[in-house]
Structure 1
């Protein structure tokens, strides 16, 4: 089959990347080499991207507050499909993916893609090192492999490849908001991590921040927004980054207690 496999993903802590590449690599064994487009860092989101009918594109984003991250919407809406086949993938931290998958599917379809499959997978939560720890794990990746096999079968056996229906609501639900001890919604969007004395000024956090917000001269300062992706905390070699906001920490603790039961991936073909 003469199709080109592509990945297109945002993955600050590499969980979404692992899922997307797992799907693409399984497909590529039966088709062709893979073209990777990682738009996690700001510079990558400045480059225009377009595809053709000869392309199959596995598109992956994390779930933020039950939706596609709003900071990615502008970029995602610049991508043109031109009839390419697309597989939207969303990755969430074991709470819920809410309307993220249907939202990503709608974005892709509005940009000229033909969406033929979709999946919601679980990755270690960006706020936590214990919620969905080490996921996607071996069991998840077995589902990834089977998902890719089903996609390949669909592409190669259907004369007119059918679009897919995925779970979700229209209109989309509002962004999920944490609550305080009295049940009132709290806004943690402006919360930013602090830097402790462990810091060795290696600048790794500067280079991996998806928003380009951490100041190069003083890594304890922010020159832009923090989307709480967890990259600077989880990848710091000396554990120098941390949060101390009480609402953030309360929400993190609640997630780790209330969402402990293992969620399983959901796939749609």
Structure 2
């Protein structure tokens, strides 16, 4: 069987976990087997649909945004054809909760012809923060990912008739998670966008890493599309020129860093 990865990973955390799982499965199947990678983080990569065959294994990873699969990815994800390929669903969240993201990803893959035999929810450094789940996935997370891959390999080689894996989550899915203001009322930060300070040296790195293609190449302080708060421009900026100043956003960021500081561990389903 051929092993593949498919992932959206604006800051590299999802890619790291998905790649480790796929590489370990591949190594168990046949030493030297090359894992094929489908990185659909950038806009151009989401223009062409992808299809697989029943002789393939696909480790699919997406970040969790507001407790769900990012809605900006739904159209693309629903264009992928599984054709009875085996799939492992993986979600990465920033230590708050993954809510219904994993069950939603599992269902999307199943409806598109994959046999979803395993699922995992892993933790990565939060896109809003440099201290919440800092530097995760770390060595402990990666060791768990390797062990998960070994368990998947054992399942693949021991079973002939695969049933859809049961994962944590509710169906119908819960609404997208929304932060609250000081009065306890939900606030909408979807239209909040990053600003650019005078430290910007116009290197245009932010243009190349924006997964929505929303940063104007001629004026990097200007957005020409939506911002999903993925952290790519802020965390990759060499001069730390990108930042947010919205009051509701900053309050939510602070609350996340305080309320969800305790380490959460990956959850695996086989």
Q: Structure 1 length normalisation: TM-score?
A: 0.98
Mark the runs of 5 or more structure 1 residues left unpaired by the alignment: none
Tell me by how many angstroms 1:30 deviates.
2.1
Q: How does 1:41-190 map to 2 (within 5 A)?
A: 41-190=42-191
Q: Do residues 207 (structure 1) and 208 (structure 2) align?
A: yes
- Give the equivalent residue in structure 1 for 2:251: 250
SS in 1 for 2:28: coil
Contact 1:206–1:215 (Cα < 8 Å) also in 2: yes
- Give the equivalent residue in structure 2 for 1:17: 15
Separation in 2, partners of 1:141, 1:255: 24
Contact 1:99–1:173 (Cα < 8 Å) also in 2: yes
Separation in 2, partners of 1:21, 1:40: 14
Q: Do residues 229 (structure 1) and 230 (structure 2) align?
A: yes
Tell me by how many angstroms 1:234 deviates.
0.3
Contact 1:154–1:161 (Cα < 8 Å) also in 2: no
Separation in 2, partners of 1:51, 1:112: 9
Tell me by how many angstroms 1:165 deviates.
0.5
Question: In the TM superposition, what whole-angstrom CA distance separates every residue of 1:130-153 from its partner, at most 9, and x where no partner exists?
Answer: 000000001101100000000000
Mark the runs of 5 or more structure 2 residues left unpaired by the alignment: none
SS in 2 for 1:116: strand
Question: In the TM superposition, what whole-angstrom CA distance separates every residue of 1:42-81 from its partner, at most 9, and x where no partner exists?
Answer: 0000011000000100000000000000000000000000
The count of corresponding residues between Structure 1 and Structure 2 is: 267
Tell me by how many angstroms 1:28 deviates.
1.1
Tell me by how many angstroms 1:25 deviates.
0.7
Contact 2:7–2:41 (Cα < 8 Å) also in 1: yes
RMSD: 0.6
Separation in 1, partners of 2:48, 2:201: 33
Separation in 2, partners of 1:176, 1:268: 23
SS in 2 for 1:20: helix
Contact 2:28–2:150 (Cα < 8 Å) also in 1: no
Separation in 1, partners of 2:49, 2:158: 33
Contact 1:63–1:90 (Cα < 8 Å) also in 2: yes
- Give the equivalent residue in structure 2 for 1:30: 28
SS in 2 for 1:29: helix
Separation in 2, partners of 1:98, 1:159: 31
Tell me by how many angstroms 1:162 deviates.
3.2
SS in 2 for 1:104: helix
Question: In the TM superposition, what whole-angstrom CA distance separates every residue of 1:189-233 from its partner, at most 9, and x where no partner exists?
Answer: 000000001000000000000000000000000000000000000
Separation in 2, partners of 1:6, 1:212: 26
Separation in 2, partners of 1:151, 1:251: 37
Separation in 1, partners of 2:181, 2:164: 42
